[in-house]
Structures are given as C-alpha cells and as structure tokens.
C-alpha cells in the first residue's frame, strides 16, 4: 500500500511503476552497520565513555560507599533518557557492555526506520532509502549523541505510523501516536522536534493538495490529530521550570551554520566523509529526470533545514542542537525521492541508471563502514593500553584527567580520548573530573566538595600543542587544581610521546598517556 496525497487515501502500489525490491539490500546495510561495534570493545564515539561513567553510578544504586560519597544520581522525567533507560534494562551486562550494546543497535535501528518510511510513503523501499542509510552513522552518532540518535530512529518510525494511519479514525490512532511521541521525547527532546517538523511538513502538503475543496475540514482534522504530539510540550515546560539554561548561541554564528552542512558525516577520514554526500548529491542530480520528489516528506526536510539555520547551538542543555539536525534533513530529503516509471523505449537505460545509483550508495556505505571498523579496531587497542593505567589506581582514587588539545589543528576523526578517563568511575569507583555539568539536564552530579572550576567537563581539556609543536608547560593551566590537595592522581592523555610534567616520575606511561601520583600536601 502507498499513500496517495491527491485522493488522501491508501492505494495499491503499482509494481510496474516502481524500482526493483531493495528491501534485502537495506536489511543487509543494517547488518553491516553493526561491524564497527564488533571490531571494538570501546567504540571511538567522543562522548560515549562519559555516558558510560554515568551509567556505572546509575547501576550501582548507592551500594558503593565510595561512589555514593562522590556522586549523586537522581532519576528525573527529562527529554534525554534514551540509552539511559536501555542501560537500566540491561544493567545485568554491566555498564560498559550495556553501553556498547545500546550504541551498537542505533545505526541498524535507524536504517530499518528509514526502510519503513520509504515503504510507507512509496509502497516499497526506494533507492533514496539506500542513499539515506549512508547517513545512519553521521556526525551525531560519531560524536556519541546516543540519546538523540536513538530518538531519531524513534521519530522516523513514528512518522511512518502517522502516514500509515492518516485516514484511520482519529480516536483510534491518537493514543498510539501519542505514546510514540512520548517515547521519542523521552529518548531526546530534539528527536521529538524532528518528529513534529516531519509531521508538520506532511500536513502542510496535505492542506495544499486540498486547498480548493476541503481546506477547512482538513485543517481542523490536522489540528485535532496534532494533539497526539502535544503531551511532550507539557513535560518540556515542567522540565525547564527548574531554572536551567534554555538556549545558548555559539561564536562565529554564520560560519557555524554553514559548517553544519560540511560536517554532516564528520567522524571518519575526511575524504570519505566529504566524498559521500558530494557523490550522492551528484548522483541525484544526474538522475533528476528519473526521480520524483514526494512533497509529503520533502516539506519536512525543508523545515528541518530551516531549523538548522535558526536553532541555537545549545538547546535544553544539549550542545550542537542545530548541528545534529543537519543529517536528519538530508535523510528526509533522500527518503522523499521516488524513482519514476520508465517509458517503453527507455527501460534499459532507466534500469542501468537505477543500478548505478544503488551501486554507488552501497559502495559508499560499505567503504565508509569498513573504514570505521578498521580505525575503531586500531584505536581500541590503543585504549586498552591506556586503560591499564586504571589497574594502578586504588579503589576510590581521586583522578584529575587532562586531555591535551592541539589548538592549531582540529582533528576530523572522532576518538574517545576526551572522556576516556570516565571509565575509571565504574572500574575503580574513582572520582574523575570528566562528567558534564548541565543545569536542569544532568541526573548525575558531583557531590564531593571540589573547586567548581575543576570538578566537571571541560576542565580536562587543556591546550598542549600549537602550530609550533608542544607547549613548554601545558599543565601550568591546571596548576591550582594539582596543588589543591583534592586530587591524588594526574592522568594525562593524548601526550603524543611527550613528557607533560617534566621532573615527575610517572606511575604508568605508554606512547600516548601517562599517569602520575600527585604529591600530598
């Protein structure tokens, strides 16, 4: 069945007017998306180790006196609970394994959601869905925005349900749609925003199609059904009533807005991350006459693109709120494409174009996914070496982490170094300075009395290199913390073989990290 926007009803899709079945291909892509996670025990997703440290405290339930003395964890109904709830359900695996599993299912689930949207809109999976699957492991997932990425998958499934049930009686479908909206919001509020914009675009197209004969009834029906998406509004207002910052804008706003589209796939090698969207865009242009735009979804893609340009950098305590919407806009645009029927005299050329488009999408997806798996496996071995430093720590150690930054060259590839020290929370019940302080959004808080300048992220990020090489004394920027007597160990990561604290004997050292015992005061 496929939804006919002209008649406003579901109708049988015409097999002769649709491309060959691609369901098996996109299912295979969903399975291939698991490979990078099979290649690494610690995926190179920037924020994931930080989340894992929080999960360790969450799963402890106050049993450890050390963790209870250092941290407080308070469950709250907020729009940022996606993988937290998953880890709570699979806590018997342990924090690290449950976090790994929660992250591993996101890309496959998102690809299956894309297939569901494509099948619901067009009657069967379209080539555009295979191109969209190339963005399942986009910048937000590589950065470790796991709650948002899970909510995006939920939003796509919920949108497909909205389309499929659009002509069913409102009283019958509004309860399950309201539940879908609520689950999407619980996973992440920005994912719920994606759902609202997709549904809004769908309904705007429907109003346009019926503008001449049934505009009034169609508008009233759309507003009534839209109430199914409204319950999270109340929850959002209650959540933000605690005085936490609502929004924040970044610096160099115009440059940032433009870069949101450049970094849409950032996280792997720059050439493949830039080549993939560029080649897919060229392929869409080359086959333009063979594809039709379904405005029921493309309107939502335009609304998402507009949101990327006008949204603040921080929304509801989530950094990069605008940046993470860019892949969603691209996904929606690609899913809106429908391959048109070939004329009798051009069938052969039509099928060759289709095969070339599908082959390109599969090749780009496969190459990038395998490159991610290769690099994650290599980095995972490095992380394993660095994490042996944790074995040198006593339980309950106070660990001040420092991750040396290169202020001359911003790395393109994602790594887990910025929050890697957070794994000491679960492995050694340690006090570490790498957790986030997000007023109104953080369920985990540092309870132990520390200098607030050095208790949380981003205190671990310290400039260690510039365009001339290593800075002479990078730890001078944190001398107050090191001399405060509040910390027992200094763990420096991304040293690149340098000695960050000359004259001090390390407890552990390898090629890219070093652990020191701080002198007692």
User: What's the pLDDT tens digit per position in 345-386?
Assistant: 566 777 888 899 999 999 999 999 999 999 999 999 999 999
Closest to 198 in 3D by CA, of 107, 116, 313: 116
Strand duo 9-11 + 71-73: pairing: unpaired
Strands, E assignment, 60-163 = 71-73
Mean pLDDT in the chain?
A: 91
Domain membership of residue 156 as a residue range? 2-32+106-373
Helix H segments across 263-395? 270-286, 295-310, 325-335, 347-387
Strand, coil or helix: 400: strand
Beta strands in 54-156 (DSSP E): 71-73
Determine the Cα–Cα distance for residues 229 and 148; give it in Å rounded to an integer: 18
Q: Taking the CB of residue 505, how many other CB atoms lie within 10 A of it? A: 8
Whether 113 is covered by a domain: the verdict is yes
Q: Is residue 50 part of a domain?
A: no
The contacts of residue 66 (CB under 8 Å, 6+ apart) are 395, 396, 429
For 215, residues 6+ apart whose C-beta sits below 8 A from its C-beta are 207
Query: Tell me, what's the pLDDT at 17?
Result: 44
The percentage of the chain sitting over the pLDDT mark of 70, rounded to a whole number, equals: 92
Under the banding of pLDDT at 50, 70 and 90, the label for residue 143 is: very high
* 296 in a structural domain: yes
Helices (H) and strands (E) in the chain, counts: 21, 16
Question: Checking DSSP bridges between strand 398-406 and strand 461-466, what pairing results, if any?
Answer: parallel
Q: Which residues pair with 318 in a beta bridge?
A: 315
Whether the CB-CB separation of 430 and 424 falls below 8 Å is answered with yes
Is residue 89 in a domain? no
CA 401 to chain centre: 25
Q: Quote the tokens at residue 87.
A: 């880890």
What CA–CA distance (Å, rounded) separates 300 from 167?
19
**C-alpha closest to that of 420 among 453, 393, 382, 394:** 382
* pLDDT value of residue 351: 83
Domain-located, residue 25: yes
| The pLDDT of residue 13 | 44
Entry field: residues in the chain: 521
Which stretch of DSSP H or E encloses residue 45? Answer: none
Which comes out higher in pLDDT, residue 31 or 218? 31
| Cα 100 from Cα 24, distance rounded (Å) | 26
Give the total number of structural domains in the chain. Answer: 1
Q: What element of type H or E holds 409?
A: none
Residues paired with residue 402 on neighbouring β-strands, in sequence order = 492
d(CA 493, CA 403): 5
Q: Is residue 324 part of a domain?
A: yes
Beta bridge partner(s), residue 398:
431
Give domain status of residue 151, yes or no.
yes
232 within some domain = yes
Mean pLDDT of the 399-425 span: 96
**Is 225 within 8 Å of 202 (Cβ atoms)?**
no
**pLDDT score of 18:** 45
Whether 10 shows a pLDDT value over 50: the answer reads: no
Residues 35, 443: Cα–Cα separation, whole Å:
32
How much is the pTM?
0.94
What pLDDT score does 11 carry? Answer: 44
User: Which residues face 491 on adjacent strands?
Assistant: 401, 515
pLDDT band with cut points at 50, 70 and 90 for residue 210: confident
């Amino acid at each position: 069945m496929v939804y006919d926007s002209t008649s406003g009803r579901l109708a049988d899709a015409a097999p002769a007017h649709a491309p060959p079945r691609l369901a098996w291909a996109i299912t295979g892509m969903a399975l291939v998306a698991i490979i990078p996670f099979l290649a690494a025990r610690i995926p190179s997703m920037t924020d994931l180790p930080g989340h894992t440290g929080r999960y360790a405290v969450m799963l402890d339930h106050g049993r450890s006196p050390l963790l209870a003395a250092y941290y407080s964890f308070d469950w709250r109904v907020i729009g940022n609970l996606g993988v937290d709830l998953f880890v709570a359900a699979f806590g018997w695996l342990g924090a690290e394994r449950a976090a790994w599993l929660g992250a591993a299912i996101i890309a496959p689930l998102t690809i299956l959601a894309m297939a569901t949207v494509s099948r619901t809109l067009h009657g069967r999976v379209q080539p555009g869905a295979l191109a969209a699957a190339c963005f399942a492991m986009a910048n937000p997932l590589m950065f470790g925005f796991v709650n948002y990425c899970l909510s995006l998958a939920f939003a796509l499934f919920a949108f497909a349900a909205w389309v499929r049930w659009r002509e069913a009686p409102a009283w019958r479908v509004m309860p399950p749609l309201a539940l879908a909206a609520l689950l999407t919001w619980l996973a992440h509020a920005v994912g719920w925003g994606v759902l609202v914009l997709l549904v809004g675009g769908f309904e705007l197209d429907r109003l346009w199609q019926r503008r001449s004969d049934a505009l009034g009834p169609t508008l009233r029906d759309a507003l009534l059904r839209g109430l199914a998406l409204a319950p999270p509004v109340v929850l959002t207002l209650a959540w933000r009533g605690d005085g936490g910052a609502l929004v924040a804008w970044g610096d160099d706003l115009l440059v940032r807005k433009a870069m949101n589209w450049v970094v849409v796939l950032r996280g792997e090698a720059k050439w493949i991350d830039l080549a993939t969207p560029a080649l897919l865009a060229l392929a869409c242009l080359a086959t333009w006459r063979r594809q039709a735009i379904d405005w029921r979804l493309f309107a939502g893609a335009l609304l998402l693109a507009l949101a990327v340009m006008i949204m603040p950098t921080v929304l509801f305590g989530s950094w990069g709120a605008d940046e993470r919407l860019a892949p969603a806009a691209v996904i929606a645009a690609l899913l809106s494409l429908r391959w048109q029927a070939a004329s009798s005299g051009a069938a052969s050329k039509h099928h060759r174009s289709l095969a070339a488009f599908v082959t390109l999408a599969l090749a780009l997806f496969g190459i990038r996914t395998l490159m991610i798996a290769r690099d994650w496996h290599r980095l995972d071995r490095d992380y394993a070496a660095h994490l042996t430093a944790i074995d040198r720590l006593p339980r309950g150690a106070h660990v001040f982490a420092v991750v040396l930054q290169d202020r001359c060259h911003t790395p393109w590839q994602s790594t887990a170094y910025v929050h890697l020290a957070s794994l000491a929370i679960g492995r050694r019940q340690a006090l570490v300075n790498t957790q986030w302080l997000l007023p109104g959004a953080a369920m985990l808080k540092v309870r132990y009395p520390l200098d607030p300048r050095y208790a949380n992220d981003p205190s671990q990020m310290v400039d260690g290199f510039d365009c001339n090489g290593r800075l002479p004394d990078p730890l001078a920027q944190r001398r107050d913390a090191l001399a405060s007597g509040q910390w027992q160990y200094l763990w420096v990561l991304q040293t690149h073989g340098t000695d960050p604290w000359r004259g001090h004997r390390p407890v552990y050292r390898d090629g890219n990290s070093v652990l020191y015992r701080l002198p007692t005061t």
